[in-house]
Amino acid sequence: MQSKREGAVIFSGIEKYAGIKQALEMGRKEVLSEVRDSGLRGRGGAGFPAGVKWNLVAAAQSEKKFVVCNADEGEPGTFKDRIILTEYPGLMFEGMIIAAFVSGAEKGFLYLRGEYKSFLPLLNRVLGQMRKDGVLGKNILGKKGFNFDIEIRLGSGAYVCGEETGLIESLEGNRGEPRNRPPFPVNTGYNGFPTVLNNVETFINIPHIVKKGAEWFKSFGTEKSAGTKLLSVSGDCKNPGVYEVEYGITIKELLKIAGATEVKAVSAGASGECISVSQFNRKICFEDFSTGGSLIVFGKNRTMIDVAENFLKFFKDESCGQCTPCREGIPVLLEGLILIKKGECPKDYLDDLFSLSETMQLASKCGLGQSSPNPFVSIINNFKSEYKLSKIAKKEKVFNG
């Protein structure tokens, strides 16, 4: 596991199993407070503090507990987990083992998206080696009573299973339809047991934090977004790829690294914001321009309405259909977008579409539905010069929506 990449935290060098050894030396309580003090926030996009999750699971009284790693990255333009899973899988598993040690879980799952099925042989080989090395199995590294093993479960091509409760439903053998939250997985997770559920990138930060300390970790990033972020940069740029950057980097700086010139827009995946040049001084962090890892670059000659159409079609395909705002709202937005594209959308109908978007953001059951109007809203707001509204009033037009 020689690090081939360069980065301040995730790609900074660390000895094999150093994190686990350090954790066993420190003891549960100290590891917990270290993770909490580090301010590490969930890297899947939502940004919930990992330390808070871990504390809740550790404090829960239960005969069984679980650790689940979310490797179901499906956000358009995201491939950072692919790099971790193929180049640093051991370090990610170490993070899960430390989570198990702290929380008292004896079983872990890696929920691997079906698209990444070809990584299975490699991942199983790594797990096999870790069992041989005594960091998985019974009495890990000689610590009596510390038993933990990891099983890999495959997804089957459903974006919504990247939502934590959808993922748990899928693990339990059901349709991957997200649940109402609360209750949260920390107390009612896999099969109803307390579950630590974090993203691949969140787990890979853990061995570094435990070994090098919360203070060291906090020296990177911004006040509210400690550490670094793996960004998957794609689209119209010379050097697409995965970059580890400190939180707080501006879009402009990042575009320079990625070799993107003549850029019109940047989008944080399908569910994030899509912004134009005037906002390129914004910082990538939870408190400003937030992304789960996707950064898609759009060159000067791209039509942004087409981009919004692609994103909405994606959401239409991936909506699980259980709640009304998402299931019914997305097709209406899509139809509206086609009207806008044709220049046939009345101003007052656009207002209706914005109000529908707000309803979807507020009333959808899960993150997919809540964020599905984002590309519509941000592209229509940020790229006004790319479309013309119809002068006809809404009531004079007939809609099938």
Partner 1 sequence: MAKECAVSKLDKGFLVCDETRSGLIPALQEIQDKKGYISDNDMQAVADKFGIHPVEVYSVATFYSFLTTRKRGRHVIRISECISNTMAGSRKIEKEFEKALGIKISETTKNNKITLERTGCIGMCDKAPAAMIDDALVGNITVAKVREIIKSLK
Q: How far is the CB of 105 from partner 1 (least distance, A)?
A: 16
Query: DSSP secondary structure string, 346-383?
Result: BHHHHHHHHHHHHHHHHH-SSHHHHHTTHHHHHHHHH-
Helix (H) or strand (E) holding 330: helix 324-342
- Quick one: 228 or 234, whose CB is closer to partner 1? 234
Cβ–Cβ < 8 Å for 72, 210:
no
Taking residues 287 to 306 in sequence order and writing x for each that binds partner 1 by CB under 8 A, - otherwise, the string is ---------x-x---x----
Nearer to partner 1, 267 or 378 (CB): 267
Q: Which of 46, 52, 56, 154 binds partner 1 (CB under 8 A)?
A: 154
Buried b vs exposed e over 68-106: b needs ≥16 C-beta within 10 Å? bbbbbbbbbbbbbbbbbbebbbbbbbbbbbbbbbbbbbb
Among 153, 256, 300, 397, binds partner 1 (CB under 8 A): 153
- Taking CB under 8 A as the criterion, the residue among 115, 328, 335, 344 binding partner 1 is 115
Which listed range, 156-164, 204-212, 284-292, 342-350, lies at the site for partner 1 (CB under 8 A)? 156-164
Residues in a beta bridge with 283 = 250
Q: How many residues contact partner 1, by CB under 8 A?
A: 51
**Rounded distance between C-alpha atoms, residue 350 and residue 353, angstroms:** 5
User: Per-residue string for binding with partner 1, 25-64, x by CB under 8 A?
Assistant: ----------------------------------------
> In whole angstroms, what is the distance from residue 140 CA to residue 62 CA?
21
Given the rule CB under 8 A, which of 27-35, 53-61, 77-85, 366-374 is the region that contacts partner 1? 77-85
CA distance 301 to 236: 10
Among 19, 235, 325, 367, binds partner 1 (CB under 8 A): 235
Assess 113 for contact with partner 1 (CB under 8 A). yes
Residues in the chain: 401
Q: Is 316 in the site for partner 1 (CB under 8 A)?
A: no
Q: Is 217 in the site for partner 1 (CB under 8 A)?
A: no
Examine residue 240 and tell whether it contacts partner 1 (CB under 8 A).
yes
CB of 115 to partner 1, least distance (A): 5
Amino acid at 25: E
- Alpha carbon distance 382, 379 (integer Å): 5
Q: Which is nearer to partner 1, 32 or 112 (CB)?
A: 112
314 touching partner 1, by CB under 8 A: yes
DSSP class of residue 98? H
By CB under 8 A, is residue 117 in contact with partner 1?
A: yes
Chain positions 246 to 275 lying near partner 1, rule: CB under 8 A, are 267, 270
SS3 311: helix
Single residue of 129, 174, 281, 355 touching partner 1 by CB under 8 A: 174
Q: φ and ψ at 127, to 5 degrees?
A: -60, -40
Residue 78 interacting with partner 1 (CB under 8 A) = yes
- How far is residue 161's CA from residue 176's CA, in Å, rounded to a whole number? 5
Under the binding rule (CB under 8 A), the answer on residue 77 touching partner 1 is yes
In the list 88, 159, 217, 220, the residue contacting partner 1 (rule: CB under 8 A) is 159
Identity at 351, one-letter amino acid code: D
Give 271's contacts (C-beta < 8 A, 6+ positions apart).
45, 75, 292, 367, 368, 371, 372, 374, 375
Using CA atoms, how far apart are residues 248 and 360, in angstroms rounded to an integer? 30
Position 105 contacts partner 1 (CB under 8 A): no
Q: Which is nearer to partner 1, 18 or 257 (by Cβ)?
A: 257
Minimum Å gap between C-beta 175 and partner 1 is 4
- SS3 at position 332: helix
Residues binding partner 1 (CB under 8 A) = 73-79, 81-82, 113-118, 153-159, 170-177, 191, 232-236, 240-242, 267, 270, 296, 298, 302, 307, 310-311, 314, 317-318, 320
